[in-house]
Structure 1
Amino acid sequence: MENLKIKSQILVESLPYIQKFHGKTVVIKFGGSTMKDKESEDSVIKDIVLMKLVGMRPVIVHGGGKDINNMLERLNIEPKFVEGLRVTDKETIEVVEMVLAGKINKNLVNKIQLENAESVGISGKDCRTLMCKKNYANGKDIGYVGMIEKVNNHLLRSLIDNDIIPVVAPIGTDIEGNTYNINADTAASAIAASLKAEKLIYLTDVDGIYRNFPDKDSLISKLTLESAKALLDEGTLTGGMIPKIQNCIESLENGIDNIHMINGNIEHSLLFEIFTDKGIGTMFTQK
């Protein structure tokens, strides 16, 4: 009986959020760290389909670094990184595109459709959705790594308007037709800004931003743009927290009003974050 009361309370609590976000676009960055097992991936897919069924308009941008590394290893190509960016020569970009736009993208589309929702997988090359220029790491040439210059969102809007969930592989192109690997976090941020999304959600393998990682009691539930910058300037953040908060600050500066960072490996974390009062991760807001 107690479980029934808890479940009914959650349903009632979710109602105002369902009403508030009906018809709103939400961009979800589905990282490789949350694709590490079938259960986590399936849970996220079910959450996204439910969001669609209650009237939200989800867009998925996915990564897949681990799968890329596995394929490179099978092909006896050693992965190389400079300042967190994958060094992508001509041989590597072919593997990256094959894994991201082929294997991972179509696998996610298939799983969504098994939950009886319509989905189409694209890469940023389709309809020139992600137009890039060559990116450099502090002046170092790292190959076919792209920096987004423009998002042409008409294909995405067409899919969304036709009740189809777009799944985007972060592969871009330039005016000469070259193919580029794009950081998935950056691609999700640019797409969310272009679509004027209500929310941008980063699914990661940590619960959110910790003031003193990995102290669980130091999880920060909410940060404004100003307080996020102040926290970064304090110099107390360690390890992986720094690039995560930097990316959220950049996304806020791109004009996105609400950004969430949550642990995608927690079952139904998406639903808890969006449809409950307390949430489950760290929320970033303009003010």
Structure 2
Amino acid sequence: MSDTTPIPGQFTAATLSEALPYIQRYDNKTVVIKYGGHAMVDEALSQAFARDVVLLKHMGVNPVVVHGGGPQIASLLGRLGIQSEFRDGLRVTDDATMEVVEMVLSGPINKSIVRAINKAGGKAVGLSGSDADLMRVKRATRTTKDPDSHVEQVIDLGFVGEPEAVDVSVLNLLTDYDHDFIPVIAPVGFDGEGKRYNVNADTAAGAIAEALGASRLLLLTDVVGVKDKAGELLREIKADDIPALIADGTVSGGMIPKLETAAGAVKNGVGGAVILDGRAKHALLMELFTEHGAGTIVL
């Protein structure tokens, strides 16, 4: 064997060595991860995600997971014969829908993520926005213009909430080195009267990232990132350019709340917000610990 022949394991060792500057960058820093979409229902991806989150914790990062559950909610609503619709990427939520939303998000989905992380060697704790006064919300409002009269009309989204106040004291307690827990949060909040609300998971993750002063907000989705009208991936977007991208139709549907959340987060102290493909194994590690990153970063 020549001196230049790679030794088994040498490539892995070189990769770890190259990651050192990035590992140092995120040491004892908080990273908020919005987890949802296809990655949640694919068993192999779910296991890989759980392992990556545990690895982050062992590398000195404080991961906080905020999860969605749209496909699972839609499935149960369909089985129960409850009609549901979306407006501007947000699910219109009446009383019956809200009952299903809370049951699915705070129940089987939250606990399945907790179990997966614990199985991978972590110490996950399941929460919702209702626990420890974590996320108080107000009723979300949206307006639209009538195409004929051009008069603005209010869209009634029902029990859809927007974060108004986030108390992260319980998260700080869980993630310090004396306890070393990994919070897993279902995006269900409550208002001053104790009424429960469905909160878009991206929006909830952004608000929690801001309150924690997170170094990164990672929004996992089912696409490679944000694309322009020609279908090319936009590696970087300036927060101030997002309204124009929405207005000209480059961004639509569920990508709207993602980009609005990302823009708000970076304007309010989060170190960076990235929209990346949750279907790609180890997307979290590629984004945080490699030179090229993954997906679209909002600056």
Q: TM-score, normalised by structure 1?
A: 0.91
1:57-68 paired onto structure 2 within 5 Å: 57-68=62-73
Partner of 2:49: 44
Q: 1:237 to 1:2 in 2, by over 3 A?
A: farther
Residue type at the aligned position of 2:269: G
Q: CA deviation at 1:153?
A: 0.9
1:209 aligns with 2:226: yes
CA shift at 1:262, angstroms? Answer: 1.1
1:265 counterpart = 2:282: no
Residue of 201, 205, 218 corresponding to 1:188: 205
Is residue 178 of structure 1 aligned with residue 195 of structure 2?
A: yes
Matching residue of 1:199:
216
Is residue 236 of structure 2 the alignment partner of residue 222 of structure 1?
A: yes
Distance 2:164 2:199 in 1: 11
Given the alignment of the two structures, is residue 235 of structure 1 paired with residue 248 of structure 2, yes or no?
A: yes
1:233 CA displacement: 7.4
Gaps of 5+ in 1: none
Match in the other structure for 1:160:
175
2:63 is paired with a residue of what secondary structure?
strand
SS at match of 1:61: strand
Structure 1 contact 46–115 (Cα < 8 Å) conserved? yes
Moved more, 95-104 or 39-48: 39-48
* Residue matched to 2:79: 74
- Give aligned-pair identity as a percent: 41
1:92 equivalent to 2:94? Answer no
Q: CA separation in 2, counterparts of 1:55 and 1:246?
A: 29
Q: Decide which moves more: 80-89 or 184-193.
A: 80-89
Q: CA deviation at 1:266?
A: 0.6
> For residues 10 and 276 of structure 2, what CA distance do their matches in structure 1 show?
26
Matched, 1:274 2:257: no
The structure that is helix-richer by fraction is: 1
CA contact (8 A) 1:82 1:137 kept: no
1:236 Cα offset (Å):
6.7
Q: In the aligned structure 1, how far is the partner of 2:204 from the partner of 2:94?
A: 20
| CA RMSD in angstroms, aligned pairs only | 2.1
Match of 2:155 among 140, 146, 149: 140
1:91-130 paired onto structure 2 within 5 Å: 91-130=96-135
Tell me the SS of whatever aligns to 2:141. Answer: strand
What is the total number of aligned residue pairs between the two structures? 281
Which amino acid counterpart does residue 157 of structure 2 have in structure 1?
A: I
Provide the TM-score with structure 2 as the length reference. 0.87
Q: CA separation in 2, counterparts of 1:280 and 1:199?
A: 13
Aligned-partner residue type, residue 45 of structure 1: A
- 1:146-169 Cα deviation digits (max 9, x unpaired): 111100111111111221000000
Secondary structure of the 1:220 match is coil
| Mapped partners of 1:63, 1:247: distance in 2 | 15
User: Cα deviations across residues 43-83 of structure 1 (Å, max 9, x unaligned)?
Assistant: 11111110001110000000001100101111111122233
The structure with the larger Rg is: 2
State the partner residue of 1:10: 15
Q: List per-residue Cα deviations over 1:113-169 (Å, max 9, x = no partner).
A: 001111100000011211011123322322211111100111111111221000000
